[in-house]
């Protein structure tokens, strides 16, 4: 499942540089996560780094993009060949 940044985001810039898949970018109002690039850090780390560094806990699991660990690993392999 990809992650989602909620409207509680304060644009602190902590998450963007931590994403190993470059899935996070500044949207029109807040940071956004591209679900086609988000692997929840599977293939890189034990847990999502964006969640770890977010000072206000505004990053949640995206119920609209549910993926298994195998699917996330496949996405990781596709992104990083």
Q: For residue 15, what is the DSSP state? A: S
Q: Which segments in the chain show pLDDT lower than 70?
A: none
**What is the per-residue pLDDT for 81?**
87
How many other β-carbons are positioned within 10 Å of the β-carbon of residue 2?
Answer: 21
Total tally of structural domains belonging to the chain: 1
**What is the per-residue pLDDT for 73?**
96
Gap between the Cα atoms of 27 and 68, Å rounded: 27
**What is the per-residue pLDDT for 9?**
98
Looking up residue 59, the CATH number of its domain turns out to be: 3.30.70.20
Q: Which residue has the tokens 């780094």?
A: 49
- Structural domain of 32: 3-80
């Amino acid at each position: 499942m990809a992650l989602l940044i909620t409207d509680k985001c304060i644009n602190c810039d902590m998450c963007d540089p931590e994403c190993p898949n470059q899935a996070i970018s500044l949207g029109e109002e807040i940071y956004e996560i591209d679900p086609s690039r988000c692997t929840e850090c599977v293939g890189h780390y034990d847990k999502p780094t964006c969640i770890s560094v977010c000072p206000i806990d505004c990053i949640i699991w995206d119920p609209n993009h549910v993926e298994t660990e195998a699917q996330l690993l496949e996405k990781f392999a596709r992104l990083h060949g």
